Amino acid sequence: MRPWLVALALPAACAEQPTAPPAPAPLVLAEWERGIAVRSLEVPDMDMFLWFYEWNLFDAFDPGQSSAGTYELERSVAPDGRSARIQSENLVLELAVDAEGVALELSVTNPLEQPFGELAALVPCFNPGPTERRTHALAHYDATYYVGRTGLERAAGREMHFNAALREALRAVSPELEFDFSSKWPTSDHDAAAGLLLRESRDGSFVTGIAWEDFIGAQAHNPWQCLHLGVRVGPLAPGATRTIRGRIWHFAGGREELLQRWQRVQERW
């Protein structure tokens, strides 16, 4: 019998079956007055809140080394809580729950007559909530980690762990690495090697984290006990648009498992 006839003669059960897409993570998104809430369906009272966005750095949108951002942007959440969108004329942030967590896609358009420089960045605030809504299990200073030269390193204070790849560009602005925000976020001697910032719950049973494929620095432990991972949006020519991918993880587990999930995403970025 000819080979192609043999193939036709195989029972239907032997034919390759299509693979079903993996189930989405047990998370839902909800609107919050300053952005979007991320809620676990497995573990109650573990909400985290994405304040988008709190700060501009290095002449992004406004002149100066730092300036206030705005959360007064249009927001929408799908009825099933599986996707959300924050947008303005020059910013669009898409959030989508998938098998790994929440995929982020940020598109930024430069509306200025001059380019955004290499260091231009926005700082979203990923936090356990204001005082009246605080998620106490995640509102602490004891187990916050960034990716350093040797792997995950604990963030012990409010220092800014700048992206190691940008140190020379930062020194060109200030040889002493002192900026107008350094009084609240002093420059650390320990740089960040990758754009990931995470925190474990007080008992170590739950972990949350945020990542961006391009970043300026990792910083935490501000009054809202938040995580600041600044997403780099420069360089960007006038009128041009840049898209940066990111991700949120929020699940029952620990930092090493989150690190492994982040490494899988890195392979696709």
> Residue 200 belongs to a domain with what CATH number?
2.70.98
End-to-end Cα, the chain, rounded Å: 47
Give a yes or no: residue 10 inside a domain.
no
Radius of gyration of the chain from Cα atoms?
21
In the structure, what pLDDT confidence band is assigned to residue 18 with cuts at 50, 70 and 90? low
In the chain, how many domains are there?
1
Q: Check: CB of residue 106 under 8 Å from CB of residue 91.
A: yes
Residue 14: inside a domain: no
What sign does the dihedral 20-268-86-208 (CA atoms) show?
positive
Q: Does residue 141 form part of some domain?
A: yes
Looking at 119-254, list the stretches that DSSP marks H as alpha helix, in order from N- to C-terminal side. Answer: 167-173
Q: Of the candidates 157, 166, 147, 128, which has an alpha carbon nearest to the alpha carbon of residue 220?
A: 157
Asked if residue 4 is part of any domain, the answer here is no
Domain that includes residue 47, residue range: 23-268
Domain membership of residue 120 (yes or no) is: yes
Residue 132 lies in a domain: yes
In a domain, 172, yes or no: yes
**pLDDT on residue 231:** 98
Those residues whose C-beta lies under 8 Å from the C-beta of residue 132, and which sit 6 or more positions away, are none
Respond yes or no on whether the N-terminal peptide bond of residue 141 is cis (omega within 30° of 0): no
pLDDT band (50, 70, 90) for residue 17: low
pLDDT digits (tens, 9 = 90+) for 86-143: 999 999 999 999 999 999 999 999 999 999 999 999 999 999 999 988 999 999 999 9
Contact 220, 226 (CB under 8 A): yes
Share of the chain above pLDDT 90, in %: 88
- This prediction's pTM: 0.91
For the cut 50, the answer to whether the pLDDT of residue 11 exceeds it is: no
